[in-house]
Amino acid sequence: MSKGKSIWLLGERGMLGRQIAVELQRRGLAFLASDREVDIADFEALKFFSRGKTISWIINCAAYTAVDHAETDREGAFRVNARGAENLARLAAGLGARLVHFSTDYVFDGAARRPYGERDEPRPLSQYGASKWQGEKLLAANWPAAFIFRVSWLYGVFGGNFVNTMLRLFAEKDAVRVVNDQFGSPTYARGLARNIVRLVGSDSARFGLYHYCDSGVISWHDFAAAIMERALEHNLLAKKISLIAIPTADFPTVAVRPAYAALDNRKVVSELGFEVRDWRANLNDFFAEKIQRASVPS
Ligand SMILES: NC(=O)c1ccc[n+]([C@@H]2O[C@H](COP(=O)([O-])OP(=O)(O)OC[C@H]3O[C@@H](n4cnc5c(N)ncnc54)[C@H](OP(=O)(O)O)[C@@H]3O)[C@@H](O)[C@H]2O)c1
């Protein structure tokens, strides 16, 4: 391990995990990595993987993220998101390792009309949100040397997310319907990954619960319009298509989403010195990153 640190990244093949792996490599920080093959819900599997290794930081990006599926698979969601988080806290406690964990804006019910702060009481509307909240509580109860970051509307170049889905739909269809009565703040995964890797690199001990997202509150429809504008500018889309604003009632999903999910990101700035940027600036960076990746032969 370089620079005296020994890092274990879990969920390395997920959207955020891949981005954090890229940032760790960029900063020359060596790390161990695992995904499904080390089941976080299985404490013995975690112990077995860590045996004989020196681990000073655990970054957990592993999670059950199938929000709609969780409604009919409550047990599966709680197994990973609640018991998995508890297991990692117990493991970190045994190793004396610092822990970074991620949660979600879906712990809130969306009734607020101003960004949610860390002191606001969760009231999840979905099984996914409930499982993530339970995970937060179990993690905090079992190991105080932990950072929990609630993030909202995560997107990035890797994996399935709203931005990649919109780009695909814009290319396939003449019209796309997008809800305009759900509001929140996007989170660009690379921006988050950079802040997390800086935090780990600095060996911070300012543990606690934090809200993280890009600045600005928008609707999914606003977000889709901005994505289309940039896709046209960068010639990633041949022609403008029709974007139809619809109410949530016209786009039913199995799990209920909060109507208002914006997070107040001031604490990560004041306590941790994180760099947070306006969502528009980060969306520009996303397109630059996407184009740059497409130009590099794999
Ligand atoms: N995506 C969002 O919009 C969003 C918003 C707010 C918060 N978050 C939170 O941010 C974190 C990262 O999300 P993400 O979007 O990067 O998730 P993701 O892409 O679904 O990645 C999660 C990874 O964990 C793996 N995994 C699932 N169950 C596991 C288990 N039992 N043991 C070990 N690994 C397991 C998954 O494998 P499979 O792919 O094979 O299942 C996947 O590779 C999560 O905590 C999520 O709850 C996400």
Name 108's Cβ contacts closer than 8 Å, sequence gap at least 6. 116, 120, 122, 123, 124, 129, 258, 261
293 vs 135, more confident: 135
Measured from the CB, is residue 104 less than 6 Å from ligand 1? Answer: yes
Is beta strand 218-219 parallel, antiparallel or unpaired with respect to 183-184? antiparallel
Measured from the CB, is residue 39 less than 6 Å from ligand 1? Answer: yes
Provide the edge-to-edge strand list for the sheet that holds 57-60: 31-34, 7-10, 57-60, 98-104, 146-151, 208-212
Say if CB 146 and CB 92 are below 8 A apart: yes
CA nearest ligand 1 atom 24, residue: 62
Euclidean distance between CA atoms 263 and 121, whole angstroms: 13
Contacts of 163-170 with C-beta under 8 Å, sequence gap 24+, read 163/223, 163/227, 163/283, 163/286, 166/224, 166/227, 166/228, 167/227, 167/231, 167/236, 167/237, 170/227, 170/228, 170/231, 170/237, 170/241
User: Which of 151-165, 208-222, 240-254, 262-276 comes out lowest in average pLDDT?
Assistant: 240-254
* Nearest atom within ligand 1 for CA of residue 105: 6
pLDDT in the model for residue 2: 42
* Nearest atom within ligand 1 for CA of residue 60: 45
Give residue 82 CA to ligand 1 midpoint distance, Å: 13
Give residue 62 CA to ligand 1 midpoint distance, Å: 5
Specify the residue for token string 């935090």: 199
Measured from the CB, is residue 151 less than 6 Å from ligand 1? Answer: yes
| Chain segment 157-169, per-residue pLDDT in tens | 998 999 999 999 9
Give residue 64 CA to ligand 1 midpoint distance, Å: 5
Give residue 255 CA to ligand 1 midpoint distance, Å: 17
Euclidean distance between CA atoms 255 and 126, whole angstroms: 6
The percent helix, strand, coil of the chain (3-state, each to 5) is 45, 20, 40
Find the mean pLDDT for residues 58-80: 97
Euclidean distance between CA atoms 223 and 266, whole angstroms: 22
In terms of phi and psi (left: phi > 0; alpha: psi -120 to 50; beta: otherwise), the region of 200 is: alpha
| Chain segment 189-231, per-residue pLDDT in tens | 999 999 999 999 999 999 999 999 999 999 999 999 999 999 9
Measured from the CB, is residue 42 less than 6 Å from ligand 1? Answer: no
Residue 3's pLDDT band (boundaries 50, 70, 90)?
very low
Identity at 184, one-letter amino acid code? G
Angle made by CA atoms 219, 282, 3, in degrees to the nearest 5: 135
Q: Which SS3 state, helix, strand or coil, does residue 162 take? A: helix
pLDDT in the model for residue 186: 98
Please give the domain boundaries of the chain with CATH numbers for all domains. Answer: 2-161+187-215+261-277 (3.40.50.720)
CA nearest ligand 1 atom 7, residue: 104
Catalytic-labelled residue, pool 128, 155, 212, 260: 128
pLDDT at 5 over 90: no
| Chain segment 84-142, per-residue pLDDT in tens | 999 999 999 999 999 999 999 999 999 999 999 999 999 999 999 999 999 999 999 99
Residue 56's pLDDT band (boundaries 50, 70, 90)?
very high
User: Which of 236-240, 279-283, 285-289 comes out lowest in average pLDDT?
Assistant: 236-240
pLDDT in the model for residue 4: 60
Specify the residue for token string 């409604």: 71
Give residue 84 CA to ligand 1 midpoint distance, Å: 12
Q: Decide: residue 130, CB within 10 A, 0-12 exposed, 13-18 middle, 19+ buried.
A: buried
Measured from the CB, is residue 62 less than 6 Å from ligand 1? Answer: yes
Residue 294's pLDDT band (boundaries 50, 70, 90)?
confident
Measured from the CB, is residue 136 less than 6 Å from ligand 1? Answer: no
Task: Answer yes or no: 210 catalytic.
Answer: no
Measured from the CB, is residue 216 less than 6 Å from ligand 1? Answer: no
